Amino acid sequence: MDGLANFIESLALIYLLMILAYVVMSMLPLPYNVWVGRIRQFLDQTVSPYLNVFRRFIPPIGMFDLSPIVAIFVLQIVSRIVVGVLRG
C-alpha cells in the first residue's frame, strides 16, 4: 500500500502545480503562441471543473478569485487523509 500512497501524493502534487500554473497563466498577459495556447487549453480543461465546484460557493471578491486557494487547501487535506489511511 505504500506504493499507492506515494502515487496519490505525487498525483496531488502534480495537480497542485497545475492549479498554480493555471492561476499564473490567467494573470499574466502572454503573447499568443501555439504551444502556450495548447497549454492554456489543457490547464483550463483539467483544472476548471475542479475549481468550478468551489466557485459555486465562493464568489469572486472584486478582481480576486479565492477559489484556487480553497481548492488547494481541500486537495491537500483530502490527499493527506487518504495517504494516512493507506499507510495506516
Query: 16-34, pLDDT tens digit by residue?
Result: 999 999 999 988 887 778 8
pLDDT in tens, 48-66: 999 999 999 998 888 888 9
What's this model's pTM, rounded to 2 decimal places?
0.90
How is the chain classified by DSSP, letter by letter? -HHHHHHHHHHHHHHHHHHHHHHHHHHS-PPP-HHHHHHHHHHHHHHHHHHHHHHTTS--BTTB--HHHHHHHHHHHHHHHHHHHHH-
Domain span at residue 53 reads: 2-87
Count of domains for the chain: 1
The predicted pLDDT at position 31 comes to: 79
The predicted pLDDT at position 33 comes to: 83
Confidence of residue 86 (pLDDT cuts 50, 70, 90): very high
